[in-house]
Amino acid sequence: MSHSETAAIVLAAGLGTRMKSDLPKVLHPIAGRAMILQLLDSLSAIKPEKIVLVLGPEMDAVGEAVSEAGFTVETVIQQDRLGTGHAVQQAENALAGFNGNVLVLYGDSPLITPQTMASLLDERANDDDPAVVVLGFRPFEPNTYGRLNLDDAGSLVSIVEAKDASADELANDLCNSGFMAIDGSILSGLTGKLSNDNAKGEYYLTDLVGLAIEAGRSCAFVECDEEETIGINSRSELAEAETILQDRLREDAMANGATLIDPSSVYFSHDTKIGQDVTIDPNVYFGPGVEICDGVHIRAFCHIEGAFVENNAIIGPFARLRPGADIGEDAHIGNFVEIKNATVAAGAKANHLSYIGDAKIGPKANIGAGTITCNYDGYVKSMTEIGAGAFIGSNTALVAPVKVGDGAITGAGSVITKNVDADALALTRSDQKSIAGYAAKLRNKKGQKKGQKKGKQ
């Protein structure tokens, strides 16, 4: 998707006081990343020539996050927050000489899709050559939203705030989202005529419609679903946006061939990759950086982040895959098993109650219940290597750095501190002793003491 001669102004100077947070509003995450990055990712799909990001003072953290995420933007500062029109004015020097389309977007409204952005630009390109195209929507409850007023031909003639609207205008359910596509060749001419003669003393971008019509140009609108226009100003609105985005991600996963047993209980990150014929049981959480290949079964109550899972593996239930977990084809990672920075090769199994960290597990190796790779000595982390077909007995502690060779066996309850040769058996248990009749003697002795104690009470 590409629209030539398009620039974008992203307004993100809002303080977000209702969030009650030291974190700038637009850095609060949805689906595992800051909402401003969600918006910029959608914007990048239409390949704008330039993006101007309007921030407030002391919002360096936003610019840094955008840069670290790999987005190229020019940042300008709105020193005084005097309205949306004033914010756009701050960006105009960065767009000097630009005569293409200018999209105006909002950093706290991250759910607009690339398709809707494209529809704004397509409408700008129609034969009527509208100076301003506004994105409208029809909410279930229009309430305090501004209304888009149309003439008999269906052209946009004005935007009126709800508090200033007549009864007839309030009966109109076509509302203003704030998103616009504007003819860049007249943008500065229009914003230069904005007035702050209103109750708030601010410069409103919505006044551009009336100013464009006064200049002899037409204006137009396109419509989208209400959910794309949601602005996030509070924690409850953040949760609402999360729900909407999660529903999109779930639908995408199922459309691409995954089965979600209980979709509403599965949480994805923005970059989760799910293959075909994957089955995901209820209550599974995917953090950032996860790729699940074809035919995998993720059982209930798993937490997975920064992990790669090959074809036909089985994960869970109640498994945790941490960053660096690389699970091979047909491998099994079972209940209450934690994997971190470790490769588990094809066909290997760790089915019960184990921690595998900083390790390489060979093909078809078997990790017994209660196995721990002791990878950290308080100063450095070291590797454990377990060879192909090795059998690690239950409750084995592998003190890294250590290697267990192909086909080797460690006895249950062993603490392995030295390398184990291929096909060898390593044991560190003391010899078992058996004292005949001792258990009966112990019961009699304890029973007599218990009886004497009761007699004294």
Token digits of residue 108? 């706290």
Whole-angstrom Cα distance, residue 350 to residue 323? 18
CA atoms within 13 A on the CB side of 53: 26
Amino acid at 415: V
Angle at 162 between CA 160 and CA 168, to 5 degrees: 80
| 287 C-beta neighbours (distance < 10 Å), count | 19
Angle at 71 between CA 66 and CA 74, to 5 degrees: 80
Give yes or no for a contact between 300 and 316, defined as CB atoms under 8 angstroms apart.
yes
Contacts of 282 (CB under 8 A, 6+ apart): 261, 262, 265, 266, 300, 301
Catalytic site includes residue 3: no
Whole-angstrom Cα distance, residue 237 to residue 108? 10
Whole-angstrom Cα distance, residue 252 to residue 235? 26
Selection from 90, 73, 113 nearest residue 187 by Cα: 90
Angle at 442 between CA 441 and CA 446, to 5 degrees: 120
Whole-angstrom Cα distance, residue 220 to residue 99? 19
According to DSSP, residue 227 is labeled: G
The catalytic residue positions are: 352
